[in-house]
Amino acid sequence: MGDIKSDAGTASSIATTINTGTATVLGYSAATKDADSTITGNVSNASPLIDSLSNNANQVATGVESFSDCVTKVDSNFQEKDAEIASAVSGLSGWSSDTASSNRSSGASANGTSVPTTADPEAFN
């Protein structure tokens, strides 16, 4: 199984990139309407489509902003829970990452899987 890690810097970078993209979407100005046009269908056909396009862009941007907020919140919650668990584990008497590693190794050998393990010294920092 792979490592489960959270990196506040990476999460922040991703959220910033998403927000930049959102700002770009919102930065495009809608086409201006010309009520004085003599082109047939401009007012009756093009005008509502311009409004619809602008509305759709705003809806997409709002959804993307919400997603970006979720990325940030998930990272924040992960960091908080990780610190909580690390504190609880470090309070156990006799616990060390070496003990955890040897317990996993012994268990793997006992059930015949013999999966090699390595202790991660950064796991509970």
Rounded to the nearest integer, the mean pLDDT of the chain is: 72
Residue 83: C-alpha distances to residues 42, 48, 67, 76, 88 (Å)? 60, 53, 24, 11, 9
Secondary structure (DSSP) of 44-72: IIIHHHHHHHHHHHHHHHHHHHHHHHHHH
The per-residue pLDDT for 6 is: 66
12-40: pLDDT as tens digits? 788 788 878 877 877 776 667 777 777 77
Q: Residues 53, 30: contact at Cβ < 8 Å?
A: yes
The span from the CA of 68 to the CA of 26, in Å, is 15
Q: Residue 122 above 70 pLDDT? A: no
- Region 45-60: mean pLDDT is 84
Secondary structure (DSSP) of 86-119: HHHHHTSTT--HHHHHHHHHHHHHHTT-------
Domain coordinates of the chain in residue numbers? 45-86
